Amino acid sequence: MLPVLYTYFEKWKPKVPALVVLPIALLLSTGAKAQQISMETAVETALRNNPGIKSSNLQISREQTLKGTAADIGKTNVGVQYGQFNSIRNDNNINISQSIPYPGVFRNRSQLSDARIEGAKKNLAADKNELTYQVRSAYGQLSYFFALQTLYQQQDSIFGSFQKAAGLRYQTGESNLLEATTAETQYNEVRNQMEKNRADIRAYTAELQRLLNTSEALSPDPDFVAEVYLPDSATLTNPLIALQKQQVAIADKTVRLERSLSGPDFTLGYFNQSLIGTQNVNGTDVYYGGGKRFQGVQAGIALPIFFKPFSSRIKAATIDKQVAETQLNLSEVNLKGAFSTAYQELLKNMRSMQYYEKNALPNAALLLKQAQVAFQNGEIGYVEYLQSLRTSSDLRFGYLQSINQYNQSVYRLKYLAGL
């Protein structure tokens, strides 16, 4: 599907250079020992502990519980009459009646409940996909800053040695104050950047703890390497699209329910009463006391004579369905566009990483080694030496940045593909 990307992966195999191997014993600012955790474990922990996921699971339980209301026929009416409604004597009447909606209402309510349950499940899948992306992104950034910390420590050693050498040369009169000041300034800048990076580590550690809903100190895997992922635009299964499709289904079931609600309702009833007094039975007068009961049934139908309110609700539900369909089409277009953009970003970052892997890093190592030898032998001055150190340092930092940018584009593509 994507031959260009496959060609790149055939030519480039991710390696683990020594400069990106993070010492496990690297400590941060807190006194607590950090728990090393893999990305897969971090994702699993987040899906298990995150309150947002728990809330989505509860929403499913809620919709499943509400399905029991699909067969709701309303309350049963029970009435009692007592008084002179038949003769001067006080009679009593007990009646029970039940209003029954149009039979299609029950079926459509049940189908709408099923659609809402499925919608809640689709929403849970979308929330999981979003949370997985957030965890991967935060974890990747944290790994990047840990790798930077290792590189800053190496730079601290290199520029620290340069500062000591420049200070000694100045004290012995072999160089001027400018060289010593420049070396000290560059060394302090490295330490300043190292401290800023520690703050970034603390910030992303806190972000990862928030996503995992834990207070434990965390640290990523010691190896900061490039992810390997071959995207296929033909297999996009983003849960947001599935959720939007389910919203269309829910809107359709709502239209069906509104139509059935406009149908006639039925009423069934039963009464039991006394008729105290004399009654003519087959030509003979017979007296009945309060102990004699008379009973019967009643039935009725309720027709929607004023149909406009029902018609308006049906039209509104139909419009809601059209809105859901339009949003689905928009979401599909946006997803394809976002995937295409993210894919191009991945190619760009991969090319950059290839450049550093094949060209820049070997040159950076050679440049650093030759510059150190030449400066010690007095073959170059501090300006040339400092420029070489900066160039070598920039290449190493650029390589780490290219890995991080590539990884972030991988996480983005996986999110869009619903992986």
pLDDT in tens, 144-167: 999 999 988 888 887 787 777 777
pLDDT of residue 55: 95
Residue whose token pair is 């007094």: 277
Q: Give the single-character DSSP code of 417.
A: H
The conformation of residue 210, written as its DSSP 8-state character, comes to H
CA distances from 286 to 83, 87, 295, 411 (A): 21, 15, 18, 92
Whether residue 314 contacts residue 257, with contact meaning beta carbons closer than 8 Å, is answered with no
Residue 9 predicted with pLDDT over 60: no
CB contact at 8 A, 151 and 368: no
Question: Above pLDDT 70, what percent of the chain?
Answer: 89
Q: Which of 130-134, 380-384, 409-413 has the lowest mean pLDDT?
A: 380-384
For the domain that residue 152 is a member of, what is the CATH number? 1.20.1600.10
Q: Enter the tokens of residue 71.
A: 């067969």
Measured CA to CA, the distance from residue 260 to residue 250 in angstroms comes to 15
- In terms of Cβ atoms closer than 10 Å to its own Cβ (0-12, 13-18, 19+), residue 138 is buried
Residue 235: pLDDT band with limits 50, 70, 90 = low
Domain membership flag for residue 293: no
Residue 295 lies in a domain: no
Supply the pLDDT for residue 329.
94
Look at the chain and report how many structural domains it folds into: 1
- Report whether pLDDT(411) > 60: yes
In a domain, 185, yes or no: yes
- Look at residue 93 and tell me if it is in a domain: no
Does residue 268 fall inside a structural domain?
Answer: no
- 328: pLDDT strictly greater than 80: yes
196 in a structural domain:
yes
Return the amino acid letter for 281. V
Q: Residue 232: what pLDDT?
A: 66
Whether 84 is covered by a domain: the verdict is no
Is 94 among the domain residues?
no
Q: Which amino acid is at 206?
A: A
Query: For residue 174, what pLDDT band results from cuts at 50, 70 and 90?
Result: low
Range of the domain at 252: 3-76+103-263+307-417
In this prediction, residue 27 has a pLDDT band, given cuts at 50, 70 and 90, of: very low
